[in-house]
């Protein structure tokens, strides 16, 4: 036996002592064939960020948090959302003053001691209140809500772990009674990332658009905000190197970044260091406003799901990041199948320039989703539509960006017995989905229904409602077969003759992860 072989055996023996694997022998030739591959398991930790809801004193905001019941999840865990301001690091000066107060109290233990003791109790109580979560889940399968009024409603930062992590979803819905952006504004809270695209923003005088940046981490994030108009990139003055402080939220008014006034702008957020959550709040003087979430990643095939059937105007805004031009093929997935809108069969995009197209009353009283395709999928594109409902003078607006498919499961929150519409499209092949209505926030029994979606169609389905519903509830969509499936949810109400509404696409909740099947294999020690 040569020296190399002896060394390998000695190393294998030492490894066995550490790992508890005591067999040092040739691998079983059939072992690889018996392995089952990767197991799909619930994620164990996830984070969400919610932007500051509004700057209006008339705003009324509802925060909602929910985790669906997931088989195989841990039996312990938490899901907590706190104000971003509460997440900030302690102020060193304040700490220093507290220490001085403590020293002063220690010097005089008579009259001063009582006074400072009362002050300490008050400070402790205020500290406990500051640390109190805005929302904390008690059990999977039941949503919880919290309300905030006025312009002081905070941005939220949160984490979920254990049994609450898989599929954790949060939403904020705000109603503004009057002023710029009046109407219903809704946005699903999202995970932090390093790059975002927002086609459909504006720097026009009639619009007040903010890009909200939320940093969940302990170190500062550095962000570049690029703007692209009809003639290419806009010259910006302070768009580069924006610092977002640790565990804080920073709204940036887009019109302050450039002197150019343009109706349709694509916003590109690039994070140089760190990571942030990002969303555009688009507010209009005449047609209300809503949140514009990020578009799906640039792709040669895009789906914009759930355009309301009573939309009175649809404006498509698209952008291709590269230098190549592209002719987009446009189709509408209607209840009867894929159709080509007359006069808008193809749309021409110039490389690096934002293009906008008025599609009019596209849906004509039927549910619909836009399907955009570049030839051979060779040129990547981002896109969003701005939708109006109502007649002139009493209109409201909402945005639907290109969405990601529901690969396994997705959830929409803050639904009520009336006013919620679930729209589902299967543009490439038929699919079967299962929809579960959760228990209500104040009571109710979950209900589940199964639906078949025909290939190339969009359907506004009559979603289940919890039996004995009290409060609001969650709708969870699960793909059972076929697909891919895209979905969105519309909330609607009427106030003063104005059709308030907001639309949220339902991306996959990424609550499950593939974990490779691993086993000890000492064949690496053999020659």
Q: At what angle do helices 111-131 and 92-107 cross, to 10 degrees?
A: 150
Beta bridge partners of 299: 381
- Residues 6 or more apart in contact with residue 52 via CB below 8 angstroms: 153, 154, 155, 212, 249, 251
Q: Is the dihedral of CA 152, 208, 402, 438 positive or negative?
A: positive
Instruction: Please report the pLDDT score of residue 431 as a whole number.
Output: 98
Instruction: Please report the pLDDT score of residue 113 as a whole number.
Output: 46
Instruction: Please report the pLDDT score of residue 378 as a whole number.
Output: 81
Instruction: Please report the pLDDT score of residue 37 as a whole number.
Output: 58
Instruction: Please report the pLDDT score of residue 527 as a whole number.
Output: 52
- 3-class state of residue 211 by DSSP: strand
Q: Is residue 366 exposed (0-12), middle (13-18) or buried (19+ Cβ within 10 Å)?
A: middle
- Here the tokens at position 305 are 């799901």
- Phi and psi torsions of 421, nearest 5°: -125, 125
Residues in the chain: 527
Omega within 30 of 0 (cis) for the link into 132: no
Measured CA to CA, the distance from residue 339 to residue 457 in angstroms comes to: 10
The answer to whether 74 and 415 are in contact (CB under 8 A) is no
- pLDDT < 50 positions in the chain: 1-35, 88-120, 122-128
The answer to whether 211 and 196 are in contact (CB under 8 A) is no
Measured CA to CA, the distance from residue 492 to residue 500 in angstroms comes to: 6
DSSP string covering 69-109, please? Answer: --TT--S---EEEEEGGGGSPPPHHHHHHHHHHHHHHHH--
Lateral strand order in the sheet of 289-292: 248-253, 207-215, 277-284, 289-292
Instruction: Please report the pLDDT score of residue 329 as a whole number.
Output: 95
Instruction: Please report the pLDDT score of residue 75 as a whole number.
Output: 87
Beta strand pairing call for 313-319 and 301-307: unpaired
The answer to whether 409 and 167 are in contact (CB under 8 A) is yes
Instruction: Please report the pLDDT score of residue 523 as a whole number.
Output: 62
The answer to whether 321 and 298 are in contact (CB under 8 A) is yes
Please write the tens of the pLDDT for every residue from 113-149. 444 444 445 444 444 455 689 999 999 999 999 999 9
| Closest C-alpha to 81, from 45, 42, 129, 49 | 49
Chain mean position to CA 490: 16
pTM of the complete model: 0.84
Instruction: Please report the pLDDT score of residue 526 as a whole number.
Output: 58
């Amino acid at each position: 036996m040569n020296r190399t072989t002896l060394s390998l055996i000695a190393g294998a023996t030492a490894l066995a002592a550490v790992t508890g694997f005591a067999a040092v022998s040739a691998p079983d030739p059939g072992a690889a064939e018996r392995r089952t591959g990767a197991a799909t398991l619930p994620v164990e930790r996830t984070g969400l960020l919610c932007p500051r809801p509004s700057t209006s004193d008339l705003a009324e905001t509802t925060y909602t948090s929910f985790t669906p019941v997931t088989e195989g999840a841990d039996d312990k865990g938490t899901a907590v959302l706190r104000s971003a301001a509460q997440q900030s690091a302690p102020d060193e000066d304040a700490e220093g003053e507290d220490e001085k107060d403590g020293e002063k109290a220690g010097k005089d233990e008579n009259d001063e001691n009582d006074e400072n003791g009362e002050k300490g109790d008050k400070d402790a109580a205020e500290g406990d209140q500051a640390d109190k979560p805005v929302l904390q889940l008690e059990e999977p399968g039941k949503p919880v809500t919290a309300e905030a009024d006025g312009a002081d409603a905070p941005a939220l930062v949160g984490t979920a772990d254990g049994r609450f992590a898989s599929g954790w979803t949060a939403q904020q819905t705000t109603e503004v009674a009057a002023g710029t952006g009046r109407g219903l504004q809704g946005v699903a809270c999202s995970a932090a990332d390093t790059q975002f695209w927002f086609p459909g923003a504006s720097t026009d005088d009639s619009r007040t658009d903010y890009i909200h940046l939320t940093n969940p981490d302990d170190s500062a994030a550095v962000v570049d905000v690029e703007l692209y108009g009809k003639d290419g990139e806009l010259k910006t003055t302070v768009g580069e190197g924006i610092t977002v402080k640790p565990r804080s939220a920073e709204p940036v008014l887009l019109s302050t970044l450039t002197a150019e006034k343009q109706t349709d702008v694509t916003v590109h957020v690039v994070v140089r260091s760190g990571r942030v959550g990002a969303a555009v709040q688009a507010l209009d003087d005449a047609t209300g406003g809503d949140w514009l979430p990020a578009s799906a990643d640039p792709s040669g095939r895009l789906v914009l799901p759930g355009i309301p059937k009573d939309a009175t105007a649809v404006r498509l805004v698209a952008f291709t990041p590269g230098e190549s031009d592209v002719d987009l093929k446009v189709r509408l997935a209607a209840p009867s199948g894929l159709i080509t809108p007359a006069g808008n069969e193809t749309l021409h995009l110039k490389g690096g320039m934002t293009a906008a197209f008025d599609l009019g009353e596209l849906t004509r009283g039927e549910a619909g989703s836009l399907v955009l395709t570049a030839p051979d999928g060779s040129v990547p594109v981002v896109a969003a539509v701005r939708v109006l409902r109502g007649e002139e003078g009493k209109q409201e607006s909402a945005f639907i960006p290109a969405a990601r498919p529901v690969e396994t499961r997705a959830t929409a929150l803050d639904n009520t017995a009336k006013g919620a519409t679930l729209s589902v499209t299967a543009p490439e092949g038929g699919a079967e989905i299962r929809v579960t209505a959760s228990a209500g926030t104040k009571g109710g029994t979950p209900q589940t229904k199964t639906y078949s979606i025909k290939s190339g169609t969009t359907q506004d389905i009559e979603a289940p409602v919890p039996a004995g519903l009290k409060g609001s509830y969650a709708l969870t969509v699960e793909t059972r077969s076929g697909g891919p499936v895209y979905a969105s949810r519309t909330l609607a109400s009427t106030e003063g003759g104005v059709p308030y509404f907001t639309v949220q696409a339902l991306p996959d909740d990424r609550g499950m992860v593939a974990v490779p099947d691993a086993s000890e294999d000492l064949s690496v020690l053999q020659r």
